[in-house]
Amino acid sequence: MSSAYRRLMQEYKELTLDPPEGITAGPVDEENLFQWEAVIMGPSGTDYENGLFSASLTFPQTYPLSPPKMKFTSDMFHPNVYPNGEVCISILHPPGEDPNHYETVSERWSPVQSVEKILLSVVSMFAEPNVESPANIEAAKLWREDREQYKDKVTSIVKKSLELEE
């Protein structure tokens, strides 16, 4: 059994026994611990409040030395989520120096991070997007310049996540 497999098994066990509020996550299939799904409830007090957002996490064989990739599988409109759903936050960036000198080494992935920390970072991202280094330019521009239109777009995806809107 690989160290990545053991680590993922341990994290899955911890998340099952003590899940963070508003988050569920685990392997899609218990035969493959390298492919997970997660559901995150939009945190109260944010534009995403009460939405249910699905995402996939794909772990490399080198986990935890390398970070997983996270991608929303439900519609998402957020400055730090690419239009294809891929999440772009510091904790998911490979360890080491940032070639763009934007992030410090301590903000990037390290083996002490965990699935739980990633998911909690995404919950934080809902409340406080980083519009200085956006993955979705349109979302960042609306966040800065037209908060009402931004909120309307997010409200629409929240409703869609709850199957209240087509």
Q: Is 5 helix (H, G, I), strand (E, B) or coil?
A: helix
Give the position of tokens 């209240």: 164
Q: Report the interhelical angle of 147-161 vs 137-145 (nearest 10°).
A: 130
58 beta partners: 35, 69
Q: Is 49 helix (H, G, I), strand (E, B) or coil?
A: coil
Q: Of these residues, 88, 115, 125, 135, which one is catalytic?
A: 88
> Is residue 88 annotated as a catalytic residue, yes or no?
yes
Give the position of tokens 């299939």: 29
User: Which residues are the active-site residues?
Assistant: 88
